[in-house]
Amino acid sequence: MVITINGESSTIEHGMTVSGLLNSLGVTHQAVAVMVEGAIVSREQFGHVTLQPGQSVEIIRFVGGGY
């Protein structure tokens, strides 16, 4: 199925959870935030939220920056 990850179209397995998506992308779970359809997914829910076709996912983390 196709979803949008950080603005780019991407094909993933059906029934994948947020946790599964992070693992398949190789993104470490530490200090990462995820939004699905604009709503923040709490860390405890990563393994429970199943992604649906056409959904938009944002994966965010901390980068260098002062101001």
Partner 1 sequence: MSICPDGPVKIGPYAFHSRLFVGTGKYMSDAIMQEAITASGTELVTVALRRVDLSQPKKPSLLEALPSSVKILPNTAGCHTVQDALLVADIARAAGIGDLIKLEMIGDNEWLWPDPILTLEATKRLVQKGFAVMVYTSPDPVLAKHLEDEGAAAVMPLGSPIGSGQGIVNTEVIGRIKERVTRVPIVVDAGIGAAADAAMAMELGADAVLINTAIALAQDPVAMAQAMKWAVMAGRQGFLAGRMTKQWRASASSPAQGQVRAHVPS
To partner 1, the closest distance from the beta carbon of 37 in angstroms equals 13
To partner 1, the closest distance from the beta carbon of 61 in angstroms equals 5
Select 2 or 27, whichever has its Cβ closest to partner 1.
Answer: 27
How far is Cα 9 from Cα 3, in angstroms, rounded to an integer? 6
Kindly tell me the burial class for residue 6, based on how many C-beta atoms sit within 10 Å of its own C-beta (0-12, 13-18, 19 or more).
exposed
To partner 1, the closest distance from the beta carbon of 53 in angstroms equals 19
Q: For the segment 28-67, give every residue that binds partner 1 (CB under 8 A).
A: 28, 30-33, 35, 40-43, 58-67
- Closest CA relative to residue 59, chosen from 38, 40, 35: 35
